[in-house]
């Protein structure tokens, strides 16, 4: 916002000098610069608001959870495509490991760099709250993903409505379990807002539609994987040994499903214990082909982060966020605004991944 104020002051001074009575209108909403035939889900459509290489004057940072996860290597492709399409000074940065305190330091560094907007996947919204509040006090706008409850934000953009996604995961698991038996949910951290919203929505769907299924009691109902494949594998083995009648898992982190599948296969439980959830094609191809995993779900994070940064640019440009706004990426061409909180917005894009469509997704990572 600092640059917006400087531009406005400059325009007013010019208007005074030359007798102008008004400032120029805000820029028009960008439109997608490539047709569906020209752009797959792996290639977000170009923004019509700025030509490639032409600077928009904004400096926008994307803060991820770490620098090693394949998920965030893919988001960086979206960041680079956004910078190319819009001419915006945009870049991705994150800590060397998933650690909320380290992520706080990354944000502190960005405040010192005087960026115009911070887009972020908060590891722990509570831990990040003070530093994000500090950023906003410094005139930096904050845009989140997977953090609808973050107080110090201007907007949050989710790839889809969490209730819909959670219900989809439960419908899939229920189908595989024959709509009966005991199951548990796995999340990266109990502080991860989005993962817990999806898990909560899955449980709500089970309680509504599948009375013969039962969630494991107590703290074991929500297992933490720490967004780590090895940890997901170890926790899944532990749960399967502790609960011999356990029949199903829902995993929300991209590391959960392959970790759980590995445990299932190692214990000889393929076809007896079932799993679904968020999953990367590369990490789950072997399990899909072996039949241990029937279906997992994913959206292209290159698109969701491209859209998040486009939302930031549009707001910096002075545009009004409204339903139907086109953010220039597949799944984000008609923005949905939450009915109860206008700072929360949704796209419409996730896809079920099976052994039969692995080569037809438009992305593989």
- Position of tokens 């531009």? 7
C-alpha to C-alpha distance for 231 and 146, rounded to whole angstroms: 21
* Contact present, 104 and 127 (Cβ < 8 Å): yes
The parts of the chain modelled with pLDDT lower than 50 are 1-53
- What predicted TM-score, i.e. pTM, was given to this entire model? 0.81
Identical fold at 2-10+29-160+300-350 and 162-298?
A: yes
Residue 61 contacts residue 135 (beta carbons within 8 Å) = no
Q: What integer pLDDT is reported at residue 55 of this predicted model?
A: 55
**Selection from 125, 131, 110 nearest residue 62 by Cα:** 110
How much is the pLDDT for 359? 87
Cβ distance 82 to 89 under 8 Å? no
Burial 314-340 (b: 16+ CB within 10 A, else e): bbbbebebeeebbbbbbbbbebbbeee
Neighbours of 354 (CB within 10 A): 12
CB-based contact 224:234 (threshold 8 Å): no
Mean predicted lDDT score pLDDT of the chain: 88
Q: What is the pLDDT of residue 173?
A: 98
DSSP annotation string for 160-188:
S-HHHHHHHHHHHHHHHHTT-EEEEEEES
All structural domains of the chain with their residue ranges: 2-10+29-160+300-350, 162-298
Q: Contact at 8 Å (CB) between 82 and 88? A: yes
Fold topology of 2-10+29-160+300-350:
Rossmann fold (3.40.50)
Cα dihedral angle (214, 216, 221, 223), rounded to 10 degrees? -120
User: Which class in CATH covers the domain with range 162-298?
Assistant: alpha beta
Neighbours of 68 (CB within 10 A): 13
């Amino acid at each position: 916002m600092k640059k917006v104020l400087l531009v406005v002051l400059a325009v007013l001074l010019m208007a005074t000098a030359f007798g102008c009575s008004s400032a120029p209108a805000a820029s028009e909403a960008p439109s997608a610069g490539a047709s569906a035939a020209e752009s797959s889900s792996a290639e977000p459509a170009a923004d019509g608001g700025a030509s490639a290489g032409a600077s928009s004057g904004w400096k926008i940072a994307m803060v991820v959870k770490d620098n090693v996860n394949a998920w965030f290597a893919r988001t960086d492709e979206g960041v680079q495509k956004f910078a190319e399409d819009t001419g915006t000074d945009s870049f991705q940065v994150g800590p060397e490991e998933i650690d909320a305190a380290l992520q706080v330091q990354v944000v502190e560094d960005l405040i010192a760099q005087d960026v115009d907007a911070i887009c972020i996947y908060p590891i722990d919204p509570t831990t990040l709250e003070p530093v994000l509040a500090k950023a906003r006090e410094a005139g930096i706008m904050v845009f989140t993903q997977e953090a609808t409850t973050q107080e110090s934000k201007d907007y949050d953009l989710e790839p889809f409505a969490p209730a819909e996604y959670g219900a989809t995961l439960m419908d899939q698991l229920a189908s595989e379990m024959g709509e009966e038996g005991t199951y548990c949910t796995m999340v990266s951290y109990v502080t991860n807002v989005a993962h817990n919203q999806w898990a909560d929505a899955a449980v709500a769907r089970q309680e509504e539609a599948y009375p013969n299924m039962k969630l494991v009691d107590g703290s074991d109902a929500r297992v933490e994987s720490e967004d780590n494949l090895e940890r997901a594998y170890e926790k899944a083995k532990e749960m399967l040994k502790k609960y011999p009648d356990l029949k199903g898992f829902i995993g929300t982190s991209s590391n959960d499903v392959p970790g759980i599948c590995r445990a299932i296969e190692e214990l000889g439980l393929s076809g007896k214990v079932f799993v679904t959830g968020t999953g990367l094609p590369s990490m789950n191809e072997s399990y899909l082909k072996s039949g241990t995993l029937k279906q997992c779900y994913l959206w292209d994070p290159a698109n969701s982060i491209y859209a998040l940064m486009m939302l930031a640019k549009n707001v910096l440009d002075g545009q009004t966020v409204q339903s139907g706004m086109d953010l220039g990426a597949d799944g984000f061409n008609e923005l949905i605004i939450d009915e109860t909180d206008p700072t929360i917005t949704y796209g419409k894009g996730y896809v079920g991944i099976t052994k039969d469509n692995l080569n037809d997704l438009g992305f593989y990572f």
